[in-house]
Structure 1
Amino acid sequence: MQPPIPQHRSADRIGVLLVNLGTPDAPQAGAIRRYLRSFLWDPRVVEIPRPIWWLILNLVILPLRPRKLVHSYASIWTAQGSPLLSIGRQLQHALQHALQQRLGESAAVELAMRYGSPGIDTGIAALRERGADKLLVLPLYPQYSATTTASVFDAVYDNLREQRWPPELRTINSYHDRPDYIEALAASVRQHWDTHGRGDLLMMSFHSIPLRCLELGDPYYCHCRKTARLLAEALSLEPEQYRVSFQSRVGRAKWLQPYTDKTVVELAHDGVRKLDVICPGFAADCLETLEEIALRYAQDFQQAGGQQLRYIPALNDQPAHVDALLGLIQQHLQGWSGDAASATDVGFRDAQAAAAVPVLYA
């Protein structure tokens, strides 16, 4: 007796996988330890020989660090859980709705985390269950780094390597200089100024990475500087009206500078009283923005003599952010065969707009 013939996919469907860094499942030491173990053991994140790093991680960091982070995570936790995850879900649903309006039922969007839950394996499996045979991976890191974006791709490739019939695959490396992303950032700053008044100076704080990454050819620093320059131009800022800095460094090695924590203190000492801070590298608010910037560095700024540090929220699920990501997705779906790719030229309003893309985003 012959085994039953499996039911194969019969229609083209686009699957979009949004990926962010990750979060513990709860603001508790055990959950934080599991998250850190997964995150810090990634060789893309920490490029130290494995035997040496295993000792440091398991004998020093994991026994001590999680307990120190419990208060930090608890200070930002909400009734919906982790802000990064809950905001990610909202963004996923908004993009799903927008894509369905453009492509109909031939598009599916899922959210995954590089570390923690829901994992990349879970996200790909969910898209497969929804009939996706084409996979577009969008890491929610506007500026490319091997420590973040490449790590996402590693996990995706590892998953597809195990599949009998993997989907067609496309990946998005970065969107640090897209005009619609820059304008979304600029609009959020203008809205903040309209509501709260304009501060003495605008700080653009990006997550830092070890300086060695730049020396080895990582483009992240250059991407951050370009984002900052374009945002300053969109806001018509003179060089003395804004600063670029880098936050969240750990350890004793040199990281990208200037450091945000030191810079906010220096600015307070220099007479800056109201400091506006935006974090253009974070697509969704998380520990690094809500606790590190909005709470801890705000306190440091006041203790150094400043009056107020006002954090400008990440783009999160704002309509301008959804539109910018939708345009990015549509650009990368161009030319993909099947019904989904042919719908209204993959969502572009007219041929002239589609023809302008290589010029706008080169």
Structure 2
Amino acid sequence: MAPKKGILLINLGTPDSLEIADLRRYLREFLSDRRVLTVPAPLRWLLLNLIILPFRPRKIRENYSKIWTPEGSPLDVYAKKLSKGISDILGGEYQVAYAMRYGNPRISDKLSAMTAQGITDVLVVPLFPQYAMATTGSLYARVFELLQGKYHIPSVSFLGDYYDKDFFTGAQAEIARPYLEKPYDKVVFTYHATHAVITATANRTAAGKITEQNAFCYQAQCHATSRSLAAKLSIPEDKYIVSFQSRFGPAEWIQPYTTDVLKKLGKNGGRVVVMCPAFTADCVETLEEINEEERETFMHAGGKEYDTVPCVNDHPLWINGLAREVQRFFSARPN
């Protein structure tokens, strides 16, 4: 049976290899996006070409080398496994592929391959649970840009945010459960930071319930994810904290910063359990920054025990749950 529907899973991206040229190429594409490096274009060019690209690739090479596997980048490895797992569940009616917003495999190549196979109905699945301008927003914009250049345009839909949907938080909670069986002092839910100015108008209610006013607020969605996980894992409100990691440069980012939180918790000694539910696959931010750098931050401050919970990665509950969500999406639409 020829596939009738296309499923395109899209994550952020990763360098092709540990070669400096590949790292520089990836950084150039990633940081050239105005939704990522939110400064005027002339300043962005200067930052990239005079400060970041001449020096940063060597630094991140050290970080990536710590987490690189024989199969390649973990982000790419898990994307392949997720794609295959969903394809196995959905069967021949669906063509399942994965791409990266930056780097390879390219979104353009995957969309072209699907249209070449006669697929006219494509569902794009962002592998970002929460909406952010620099991730989901950039992905949407890129897909629209690519479609504008096509003569034959397929029907393209997007799977919406799933920051508190059970198929995501249920799988993440199941992975975390064994880490909470022994006593802990605090659970830290850490999320990739965004610039504070982007969420300034919504910050006043970010920790509260999702409303029409803050429905697209990344910070509010992060808090909603944390509440969902805390409820599933029976974590009392005073036993967890939400923080934000990976800030870059001198600008103000949304707070509290994960580094500051872990320093403070470390001074009290004890045990923390750290989860990264902004990511659906372990990557350099979770495996190197959180599992290594921030572990050192906590232990150096006086902490006793530091555990990190894996992302949903290729867990069967996540693969099966996402596959069923795709089926529900198509079955809910009129024929």
Determine if contact 2:3/2:94 at 8 Å carries over to the other structure: no
For 2:253, which of 252, 255, 265 is the aligned residue? Answer: 255
SS in 2 for 1:78: coil
- How far did residue 96 of structure 1 move? 0.7
CA contact (8 A) 1:112 1:123 kept: yes
> Is 1:311–2:311 an aligned residue pair?
no
Which residue matches 2:14?
23
Deviation sequence 1:282-320 (CA, Å, 0-9, x none): 000000000001111111111111122111000001011
Q: Name the structure 2 match of 1:274.
A: 271
| The one of 39, 48, 51 aligned to 2:39 | 48
Question: Which of 129-138 and 224-233 deviates more?
Answer: 129-138
The answer to whether the Cα contact below 8 Å between 2:74 and 2:282 also exists between their aligned partners in 1 is yes
2: distance between equivalents of 1:308 and 1:190?
17
Q: One-letter code of the match for 1:127?
A: M
Aligned mates of 2:63, 2:19 — CA distance in 1: 10
Distance 2:160 2:133 in 1: 10
Partner of 2:24: 33
2:63 to 45, 61, 72: 72
Q: TM-score, structure 2 length as denominator?
A: 0.92
Structure 1 residue 178 and structure 2 residue 165: aligned? yes
Q: Tell me, in whole angstroms, the C-alpha distance in 2 between the residues paired with 1:16 and 1:230.
A: 27
Distance of aligned partners of 1:300 and 1:121 in 2 relative to their CA distance in 1, 3 Å threshold: same
In the alignment, which residue of structure 2 is the partner of 1:240? Answer: 238
Matches within 5 A, 1:85-124: 85-100=76-91, 105-124=92-111
Tell me which residue corresponds to 2:283: 286
Q: Distance in 1 between matches of 2:252 and 2:200?
A: 11
Q: What secondary structure does 2:134 align onto?
A: coil
How far residue 150 of structure 1 moved from its aligned partner, in angstroms, is: 1.2
Residues 272-351 of structure 1 correspond to what in structure 2 (within 5 A)?
273-336=270-333
Q: Which amino acid aligns with 1:278?
A: M
Unaligned runs of 5+ in 2: 203-215
> Relative to 1, partners in 2 of residues 1:309 and 1:189: Cα closer, same or farther, differing over 3 Å?
same
Q: More deviation in 136-145 or 306-315?
A: 306-315
* Partner in structure 2 of residue 81 of structure 1: 72
| Structure 1 counterpart of 2:287, one-letter code | L
The offset of 1:331, in angstroms, is 2.8
Structure 2: distance between partners of 1:252 and 1:164? 44
Name the SS of the counterpart of 1:47 in structure 2: coil
Report the number of matched residues: 322
Deviation at 1:129, TM superposition (A): 3.7
- Kindly state the Cα deviation for residue 337 of structure 1 after the two structures are TM-superposed: 5.8
Amino acid at match of 1:256: I
**Matched residues in 1 for 2:3 and 2:24: separation?**
41
Match of 2:184 in 1: 199
* Aligned residue in 1 for 2:197: 212
Corresponding residue number in structure 2 for 1:360: none
SS at match of 1:88: helix
Secondary structure in 1 matching 2:322: helix
Q: Which residue of 2 aligns with 1:341?
A: none
RMSD of equivalent CA atoms: 1.7
Amino acid at match of 1:240: D
Distance 1:36 1:198 in 2: 41
The aligned amino acid for 1:264 is L
Distance 2:27 2:183 in 1: 38
TM-score, structure 1 as length reference? 0.85
| 1:13–1:132 contact (8 Å) kept in structure 2 | yes
Deviation at 1:335, TM superposition (A): 4.4
Distance in 1 between residues matched to 2:16 and 2:201, nearest whole Å: 34
Seq. identity, %: 38
- Residue of structure 2 equivalent to 1:352: none
- The one-letter code of the counterpart of 2:11 is N
Residue of structure 2 equivalent to 1:349 = none
Distance 1:337 1:134, change over 3 A: farther
Name the structure 2 match of 1:159.
146
Partner of 2:175: 188
- SS at 1:213 equivalent: helix
Question: 1:88-125: CA deviations, max 9, x gaps?
Answer: 1001100111111xxxx210110000001001112212
* Kept in 1: contact 2:268–2:302 (CA 8 A): no
C-alpha distance in 2, partners of 1:228/1:160?
Answer: 35
8 Å contact kept, 1:12–1:133: no
Tell me if the contact between 2:173 and 2:233 (Cα under 8 Å) persists in the aligned partners. yes
| In structure 2, distance between residues paired with 1:216 and 1:57 | 29
The answer as to whether partners of 1:20 and 1:114 remain within 8 angstroms in 2 is yes
